[in-house]
Copies of this chain bind each other. A is one copy, B any other.
């Protein structure tokens, strides 16, 4: 397997190097062909490396960054004033070909804005979208986009998201003619706001896409479709709501089982099943959303995650590099958008 290099924004997320450094070390031992560049404050990263008995090596390099983008910073301000931040320098490494992808748990808006400026969008794409896989009943995850990169979207943007999502499902999972749906408040044709209504019309006029109509929130997990498109406000709230509901329910099951001796015995008998359930539904397993539509690979981790979840985001970036996702999207996009125009 050819080696690949990822640039990690080591300062991003709620816990910075406390999470990113141990996750990086886990990834290095998991993927023998992986090299990492940790970008961030030399001292903070160095401390974490020492506390895990690790040192810099040809596979684990350190790039010092003077600045950090805070979680509450406005994207435009971060873009203007954080040119020496760990996030920015990690993206610069991708632009300059020194890294194959960037992983960050930092400020989503800033990551989106910087990625757009540093890496630029693919031809035909106005705005990148944040996409993630969401678990379904039938095991096969569904791609949901946008997850918050664009809180306001017109119908053209929703249409572009549909094209990108379809291509991603096709090239990442070898799904033939992925079914693409628009998230809406009802399945009837008359439902929804203007953007969704007009995006539906655009999709109906695009034979290269397998448009499956509107879908409601409760159908997200049924696995009937492969890609679900919505604006970033709706998508962000939907994804976080799902995660909140899943965590609440898993907790309730756990509490019910801990409640008495018999139940504990039941829990023990079902240990494997419940572990599977947890793995199947635990949001941490699905950490790692991709910024789609860029000329490079950027994976966004949740900010508030542990080492394991950040490891999954790194894993996601490795997969996308190996599948050459942006190149495949570019090729398919050209055929869909050019035939259309």
Contacts and interface: CB of A to CB of B under 8 A. Distances in A.
Contact of A247 (B74, B218, B260, B270): B218
A309 interface: no
A262 interface: yes
Given A245-B249, A259-B273, A269-B260, A237 B238 contact: yes
A74 B190 contact: yes
B234 A256 contact: no
Contacts of A262: 266, 269-270
Interface in A40-60: none
A219 B244 contact: yes
A72 B188 contact: yes
A290 interface: no
A225 to B, nearest CB: 13
Interface stretch (A17-25, A118-126, A274-282, A316-324): A274-282
A151 B185 contact: yes
A69 to B, nearest CB: 13
A237 B217 CA distance: 5
B238 A217 contact: yes
Contacts of A266: 257, 262-263, 265-267, 269-270
Contacts of A234: 233-234, 237
A72 B190 contact: yes
Contact of A233 (B71, B74, B185, B263): B185
A253 B277 contact: yes
Contacts of A74: 190
B244 A237 contact: no
A218 B244 contact: yes
Nearest to A239: B217
A337 interface: no
Contact of A217 (B222, B241, B269): B241
A204 interface: no
Interface centre among A137, A185, A267 (most CB of B within 10 A): A185
Interface in A100-143: 108-109, 136-137
B252 A277 contact: yes
Interface of A: 71-74, 108-109, 136-137, 148, 151-152, 183-186, 188-193, 216-222, 230, 232-234, 236-253, 256-257, 259-260, 262-263, 265-267, 269-270, 273-274, 276-277, 280-281
Top 8 A-B residue pairs of the complex, sorted by shortest distance between their CB atoms: A217-B240, A218-B244, A217-B241, A256-B273, A266-B266, A72-B188, A185-B236, A245-B245
19 contacts: A185-B232, A185-B236, A216-B236, A217-B240, A217-B244, A218-B243, A221-B245, A233-B234, A234-B234, A237-B238, A238-B241, A242-B242, A245-B245, A249-B249, A253-B253, A253-B277, A256-B277, A260-B269, A262-B270
